Chain A
Amino acid sequence: MSRRTTPARRRPSTALTLAMGLMLLYALLPLVWLFMSSTKDTASLMNSFGLWFGDGFHLFGNIRDVLTYDDGIYLRWFGNTLLYAVVGAGGAAFVSTAAGYGLAKYRFRGRTALSALVLGAIAIPGTALAVPTYLLFSKAGIVDTPWAVLLPSLVSPFGVYLMRVYAAEAVPDTVLEAARIDGSGELRTFFTISLRMLAPGFVTVLLFALVATWNNYFLPLIVLSDPQWFPLTVGLNQWNALATGAAGSGVTTVNFYPLVVTGSLLAIVPLVVAFLFLQRFWQSGLAAGSVKE
């Protein structure tokens, strides 16, 4: 949005705008389809053109069906997802910010090694850990509880890396010195002064962690078996299995399709809204963090 990024002195190119328009279509058409499909009943879903409305407008009826099916299990899943996302992503952003700040602003023995550990940990494929995580957590007795999803969500090596780079730039040493001389303790300085300077980086990490936890599928699929604790992703795919008859019953439950489609639409709205609202913050954080090695 900011002007300085796109110097106005250059002529706009129609050809370029058209080419990028194709890409925009590619990005957005499936979402248009999803919205259109959410306004249809089962019959229209099967028979009408995907990018336009069908017979009647059933969006609100579909939403009601989604929210009330099986005593409102969808709302329960929504709440679970919200819990995992808010606590998991919020915790991850906070933990990462503190760690990155510590690495950037204090000299202590082993700091270089810990920085290397963080960089190396970025390359550790999280999902390869899922099976042992399940086994370990089942030994510890926290499988099928929210903890099994929350604890691994708090780990964000990329967040630490980003915040280390960001903090090194955004929080001047002179400010910390001044705070010390004024008698402010290190923790108080962090919470009252540094955190404010770190805000764009924090929001960036928060949003990426939010996406990661909101979209998390593999880990909850493994560590949860009680539908009461499912996040939306696992629940939606279970509905899909019912719709396609893959759930084992052998019976195709065609009426489930509007549920899956409308439930999917409702599941993506919060994140899209969060991104649109916070874009100014996270884009500046990304700019500062993503480019330096």
Chain B
Amino acid sequence: MSTSRTPLAPSPKPPPARRRPAGPARPTSRLGHGAYGYAFFAPFLAVFVIGVVAPLGYAAYLSFFQDRLIGGTVFVGLDNYRRALGDELFRAGLWRVLLFLLVQVPVMLGLALLAALAVDSGRLRRAGLFRIGIFVPYAVPAVVASLMWGYLYGDRFGLAGQLGDLLGIDVPDLLSANWMLASIGNVVTWEYVGYNMLILYAALRTVPEELYEAAEMDGAGEFRKAWSIKLPAVRPALALATVFSIIGTFQLFNEPNVMQTLAPGVISTSYTPNMYAYNLAFNGQQFNYSAAVAVVLGGVTAVVAYAVQVRSMRKEQGR
């Protein structure tokens, strides 16, 4: 028994495994303490049930009913889902966020990756300053960011126009229908590029220095090192960032909702699927249909996010 008190002798440390299987698959002498595992997990489980499971279940339940003028609330099976799938407004919103996803997310993550590589390269003066400075917008609430950028875009006292005048460039109306999606994309990029940079930077930091030294000895240049060592190292983090960005994009609400006050004619109540669900419920009182839209939206999000995750994991294993 008492022998286990002396494990601090210099035991041969296992080599720093670079990739370890997830989960605590370590020595398992926890017998008899298992109940504490439940106890520690229980508070989370409680709030998870209240905050996620119950609303999810309730949404599913609601989506099978309809409020009728005659007959009150009736069970309609999949009618709400059929309606959602054929709903032009809903589909237009989905296409809009999909387009947003295909353009904004690669731009943002590309910039984040470049910034992370630059900060990690050791060739940047005052790297710490850049790291924290580019990250700061993440601390700005989406509402404030949207208000700020909305004012910057706007013709009332917009900086965009002022800078255009200064440089003699004709700046287009960034709050017009043609530019709105790009303008919102810029706000989202501004908010999250630093956050993603940090996630990727943290991944880069785990590369042991010896690996670079070995590569250099083999005559690898900076680009070779970036391609063969750094990119593989950030791939899991990049996959995680991509999944988060996909989820965020499908849920797009705050930015367009705030911009709507600044450009009411341009952003409709169904501009994004999430705005559509919100307006159905709170301006249209169509709670059942809104629940079905939310469930479909959640389903689409989960499927796309999952597909990307599986694809990136397969790539991972294929290496």
Using a CB–CB cutoff of 8 Å, the interface residues on chain A facing chain B are 1, 4-13, 16-17, 19-20, 23-24, 26-28, 30-31, 33-34, 37, 45-47, 49-51, 94-96, 98-99, 101-109, 111-112, 114-115, 121-136, 151-152, 154-155, 157, 160, 164-165, 168, 173-174, 177-178, 181, 186-187, 190, 211, 214-215, 217-218, 221-222, 232-234, 236-237, 240-241, 244, 246, 257, 260-261, 264, 267-268, 271-272, 274-276, 279, 283, 286-287, 289-293
B202→A16 contact, CB < 8 A: no
Chain B 222-262 interface 0/1 with A at a Cβ cutoff of 8 Å (1 = within): 00000000000000110010010001001101100110111
A190→B23 contact, CB < 8 A: no
A131→B123 contact, CB < 8 A: no
A142 → B minimal CB distance (Å): 10
Q: Is the C-beta of B64 less than 8 angstroms from some C-beta in chain A? A: no
Using a CB–CB cutoff of 8 Å, the interface residues on chain B facing chain A are 1-2, 4-5, 7-8, 19-20, 22-24, 26-31, 33-41, 43-45, 47-48, 50-52, 54-56, 58-59, 62, 111, 115, 118-130, 132-145, 147-149, 151-152, 156-159, 162, 190, 193-194, 198-199, 202-203, 205-206, 209, 236-237, 240, 243, 247, 250-251, 253-254, 257-258, 260-262, 264, 274, 277-278, 281-282, 287, 290-291, 294-295, 297-298, 301-302, 305-306, 309, 313, 316
Q: Which residue of chain B has the shortest Cβ distance to A102 in the bound complex?
A: B40
Given A16-B123, A129-B52, A275-B139 contact (CB < 8 Å):
yes
A111 → B minimal CB distance (Å): 6
A236→B144 contact, CB < 8 A: yes
Interfacial chain B residues near A109, Cβ < 8 Å: 34
Alpha-carbon distance A160/B130, docked complex (angstroms): 29
Interfacial chain B residues near A123, Cβ < 8 Å: 243, 247, 301-302, 305-306, 309
Beyond A6-B122, A20-B130, A233-B141, 13 additional contacts (C-beta under 8 Å) are A12-B124, A17-B125, A30-B190, A98-B40, A123-B302, A124-B302, A129-B298, A131-B281, A164-B23, A260-B147, A271-B139, A275-B132, A283-B198
Q: Which residue of chain A has the shortest Cβ distance to B7 in the bound complex?
A: A174
Instruction: Offer 26 A-B interface pairs, CB within 8 angstroms, sorted by A.
Output: A7-B209, A8-B122, A20-B115, A23-B115, A30-B190, A33-B159, A34-B148, A102-B41, A107-B34, A128-B297, A134-B281, A155-B47, A155-B48, A168-B26, A174-B8, A181-B1, A181-B2, A186-B33, A190-B40, A221-B257, A222-B282, A240-B147, A291-B206, A292-B20, A292-B22, A293-B22
A99 → B minimal CB distance (Å): 4
A106→B251 contact, CB < 8 A: no
A217→B135 contact, CB < 8 A: no
B119 → A minimal CB distance (Å): 8
Alpha-carbon distance A135/B282, docked complex (angstroms): 11
